[in-house]
Amino acid sequence: MTIRTAAVTIVGFILLALGAIGIVLPVWPTTPFVIAAAGCFTYVPAMRARIMKIPFFKEYIENYSKRKGLTVKTIAISLAFLWGMLALSSALMKRVWLLPVLAAVGAAVTAHILWMARPRGKAREWKAGGSEEA
């Protein structure tokens, strides 16, 4: 393994860890980190194959590479978790002036998720189950 390959692999793991944070933090972007990590792992095919065996990461990488967009299930879970955590934050915080800030963040992230949900390029037909026909 060359120094370059080792460095890119380490960066890939860091990016993968940052993407995993997005699983539990509603406003943290997951997809860009996971996709960048997959790009880093292309230098080590065995590593990329191992990452693709993890269903959570595999879904993100395949949906992006095939330009599928997000499944309805992914959208529903993402939005429910986002607004649930924002509601919890609103209930626990003591500063009323932050409520509009949280609402604005929630609206912006919701718009981003819905924008990402659309299929791109050749994958235009989007059915309720999240599948498409090319």
Residue 11 is predicted with a pLDDT of 93
Least confident span in 1-15, 33-47, 71-85, 118-132: 118-132
Give the other-Cβ count within 10 Å of 102's Cβ.
Answer: 17
Per the structure block, which two tokens stand in for 58? 């595999």
Place of tokens 């309805």: 72
Contacts of 130 (CB under 8 A, 6+ apart): 68, 69, 70, 71, 72, 73, 74
DSSP string, 29-76: --HHHHHHHHHHHTTSHHHHHHHHTSHHHHHHHHHHHTT----HHHHH
Q: What is the mean pLDDT of the chain?
A: 79
Confidence of residue 14 (pLDDT cuts 50, 70, 90): very high
Residue 122 is predicted with a pLDDT of 57
Query: Model confidence over 20-56: pLDDT tens digits?
Result: 887 777 678 787 888 788 888 887 888 878 878 888 7
